Structure 1
Amino acid sequence: MATLTLSSDKDTRAAPSPRRRRRGTLGRLGVGLSFTAPGTLIVLGLSIFPAVWAFFLSQQKWNGFSAPTDVGWANYERMAQDPTLGEAVKHTLLFTGLFVPASILLGLLLAVALNRKIRLIGFYRTCIFVPFVVSAAATGILSTYVFNPQFGVANNLLRVIGLPQQGFLENQHQAMVIIAIMALWQQLGFTVVVYLAALQDIPVDLVEAARVDGASSFRVFWHIVVPQLAPVTVFTTIWQTITALQLFDLVFVTTKGGPLGATQTVVYYLWDQAFRGLKFGYGSAVAYGLFAVTILITIAMVVYSRRSKVQAF
């Protein structure tokens, strides 16, 4: 008994005091902060601070040279009465309607096709993903040569098979469709990779059990694979919608908003107002309007996914 008591007293004395433990915790916290502080300062300096400054700028009239003038919410009121902005919104919605469903559907089909053990499967997957890492400027320049009305490859192919030549990017009714095809070619790799990773996480036993029960390949795909991919579908839909709403680089490289404003999107319009028209206050207001719409769409999709018990986030 005496030995046990002495051992207990020794263990009690050896335990660190609360003050020492607190000092050790603070020391580890200081070391962690010393590593994360530079990155945190960069994030604050390059994202949060400009966003806050742009909000205050959206309530001013400023051309970048003279002293800014406070106008309150006049820039936002002007947005509701701007017919050119309304047309840009229509063009953006048209592009979103063309791009998002096509990227989801084709991405899913290509992912299913590439989720097989065939020869050179790594090469095929790489070919699909490479356009995603190529810059939008390079994609736009390459597509401009492909869809050039005079000497483009697309019109040469139409000429060979006996079909009439098209205006493509110089046609008011075709330009946005061509830009959607360019964006689809560039962004499809992201959707394919996400779906491919999700397909490989589907339990094999679940698919095999359905096949043992006599389900056809289509029924297995529709009733087993598609429901399992629902969270990924919600995520990719939100991601691609945000990408579509922010379309700028392809328009800037190819059409500059033409012909006759047929490809002028919201982001291109706010860039034109801010950096060409030197209306920084109004451009900032348009940017915040787009930000609000994006947030609302994201929240709506998240709420819908949770109510339908599809936990994408």
Structure 2
Amino acid sequence: MRNTIRRVKRRVTGDTGTVRTDGGTATATESSSRSGLRAYLGEDFVGSLPFWLPPFLLMGFFVYGAIGWNFIISLTDYQGFGSVDYGNLDFEMYTQAFNDPGFISATVHTFVLLLAFTGACLVVGLVMAILVDRKIRFENTFRTIYLLPFSLSFVVTAQFWLWMYNYQNGIVNIVLRTFGLGQYQWIGDPQLVLGAVVFALVWQFSGYAMVVYLAALRAIPTEHYEAAKVDGASTLRMYWRVIIPQLKNAVISAAVVLMVFALKAFDFLYSLVGGFLPPNGSDILATKMVREAFRNQHWAYGSAIAIMLFLLALGIIGPYLINQYRHGNL
């Protein structure tokens, strides 16, 4: 009865407010604006703002803000001392990079490492995944052994292989001498050092590729294997014609992760070669960037190399994320 009287009074007096749960009233304009915001953005989106907005702002400031500031530094001639002069911004550092033989060499080595390391990991990982998927005995043990190197840091792996590649006492040269194949300066020879780096990184990351492939192999229905056998296909032909084509998504996912790890191999090369000295034959963009900034005190030039390295990483990850978004996976 009281609610009926209140509605009648509001109609008579022209009051368009609505009763709030705390006993007050809210105007129709406020209610419509709130309902419009929730209708436009969604109830869940508005309700989740307090949980994701603060870390999003912090990440935007400290990560993307730092990238933007680094780009501005690359447009100056900052040498690492005093304050930065923002009055004369240009692309001189980028022009200097493309006229620098050291930068060109580091870029070539970066792409060689990127392609050789990623390709070898994908092939070795696929072979190991197929072998493990064949229902061998002690499958879990082999899977753990293959994956164990992936749990090690770049620094630990570099120190391990530095001992393995030792000219006098390294296991690699001891085995070669045993079979009369001589011994080699794996780290000191500019012709061999990049291959030695790729081999060590493949040893560490092929287990990751194996796990990605193994998950994809286990998702393939057994009917596909049985149909191939009924058609008289050999094991090799069955994998080449039927199974491997279905691993496309696994190949792309593993390749993107491996290429990103290849671009982040600075600490591995730093620990393997040592110091800020140019690693002969294995200098990549990451090592040259740090050397220019911290040893040569040429911060603007180092920032320019960092931006180009960032764009290279974005060129790898960006198309993959766009493709995943179009397929509704993001």
Range into which the TM-score falls when normalised by the shorter chain: 0.7 to 0.9
After superposition, the Cα gap between the structure-2 partners of 1:241 and 1:312, relative to the gap in structure 1 and judged at 3 Å, is farther
Sequence identity percentage? 28
* Residue of structure 1 in register with 2:97 after alignment: 79
The reply on whether 1:282 has 2:298 as its aligned counterpart is no
Residue 64 of structure 1 deviates from its aligned partner by 2.9
C-alpha contact (below 8 Å) 1:146/1:154 kept by paired residues? yes
Question: Which segments of 5 or more consecutive residues in structure 2 lack a partner in the other structure?
Answer: 1-20, 22-27
Q: Aligned partners of 2:51, 2:319: CA distance in 1, in Å?
A: 37
Residue 31 of structure 1 deviates from its aligned partner by 5.0
Q: Which moved more, 1:248-257 or 1:71-80?
A: 248-257
User: Which letter does structure 2 place at the counterpart of 1:254?
Assistant: L
Q: How many residues align?
A: 294
Give the match's secondary structure for 2:187: helix
Alignment of 1:22-61 (within 5 A): 22=35, 31-61=47-77
C-alpha contact (below 8 Å) 2:107/2:284 kept by paired residues? yes
User: Which letter does structure 1 place at the counterpart of 2:304?
Assistant: A
The reply on whether 1:171 has 2:171 as its aligned counterpart is no
* Residue of structure 2 in register with 1:148 after alignment: 166
The reply on whether 1:200 has 2:203 as its aligned counterpart is no
Q: Which moved more, 1:179-188 or 1:159-168?
A: 159-168
Q: Which moved more, 1:52-61 or 1:115-124?
A: 115-124
Residue 93 of structure 1 deviates from its aligned partner by 2.2
Residue 290 of structure 1 deviates from its aligned partner by 2.2
* Residue of structure 2 in register with 1:90 after alignment: 108
Alignment of 1:173-252 (within 5 A): 173-252=191-270
C-alpha contact (below 8 Å) 2:158/2:268 kept by paired residues? yes
C-alpha contact (below 8 Å) 1:172/1:259 kept by paired residues? no
After superposition, the Cα gap between the structure-2 partners of 1:160 and 1:291, relative to the gap in structure 1 and judged at 3 Å, is same
What is the CA deviation profile of residues 163-217 of structure 1, one whole-angstrom value per residue up to 9, with x for unaligned ones? 2111111112111111111111111122111111111111211221121121111
Q: Aligned partners of 1:250, 1:71: CA distance in 2, in Å?
A: 34
Q: Aligned partners of 1:119, 1:46: CA distance in 2, in Å?
A: 50
Q: Aligned partners of 2:118, 2:329: CA distance in 1, in Å?
A: 17
The reply on whether 1:295 has 2:314 as its aligned counterpart is yes
Give the match's secondary structure for 1:169: coil
Q: Aligned partners of 2:124, 2:89: CA distance in 1, in Å?
A: 47
Q: Aligned partners of 1:244, 1:183: CA distance in 2, in Å?
A: 9
What is the CA deviation profile of residues 38-96 of structure 1, one whole-angstrom value per residue up to 9, with x for unaligned ones? 43244224421211111111111223331223341111111111111011112222222
What is the CA deviation profile of residues 128-152 of structure 1, one whole-angstrom value per residue up to 9, with x for unaligned ones? 1111111000000011011110211
After superposition, the Cα gap between the structure-2 partners of 1:280 and 1:215, relative to the gap in structure 1 and judged at 3 Å, is same
Alignment partner of 2:280 out of 261, 269, 273: 261
User: Which letter does structure 2 place at the counterpart of 1:154?
Assistant: V
Residue 27 of structure 1 deviates from its aligned partner by 8.3
After superposition, the Cα gap between the structure-2 partners of 1:312 and 1:196, relative to the gap in structure 1 and judged at 3 Å, is farther
Question: Which segments of 5 or more consecutive residues in structure 1 lack a partner in the other structure?
Answer: 1-15
C-alpha contact (below 8 Å) 2:80/2:297 kept by paired residues? yes
Give the match's secondary structure for 2:83: coil
User: Which letter does structure 2 place at the counterpart of 1:104?
Assistant: L
User: Which letter does structure 1 place at the counterpart of 2:202?
Assistant: L
CA RMSD of aligned residues (A): 3.1
After superposition, the Cα gap between the structure-2 partners of 1:260 and 1:111, relative to the gap in structure 1 and judged at 3 Å, is closer
Alignment of 1:113-128 (within 5 A): 113-128=131-146
Residue 121 of structure 1 deviates from its aligned partner by 1.1
Q: Aligned partners of 1:299, 1:43: CA distance in 2, in Å?
A: 19
After superposition, the Cα gap between the structure-2 partners of 1:22 and 1:260, relative to the gap in structure 1 and judged at 3 Å, is closer
Q: Aligned partners of 1:260, 1:299: CA distance in 2, in Å?
A: 30
Give the match's secondary structure for 1:187: helix
User: Which letter does structure 1 place at the counterpart of 2:175?
Assistant: L
User: Which letter does structure 1 place at the counterpart of 2:223?
Assistant: D
Q: Which moved more, 1:270-279 or 1:42-51?
A: 42-51
- So what's the TM-score if we normalise by structure 1? 0.83
- So what's the TM-score if we normalise by structure 2? 0.79
C-alpha contact (below 8 Å) 1:252/1:268 kept by paired residues? yes
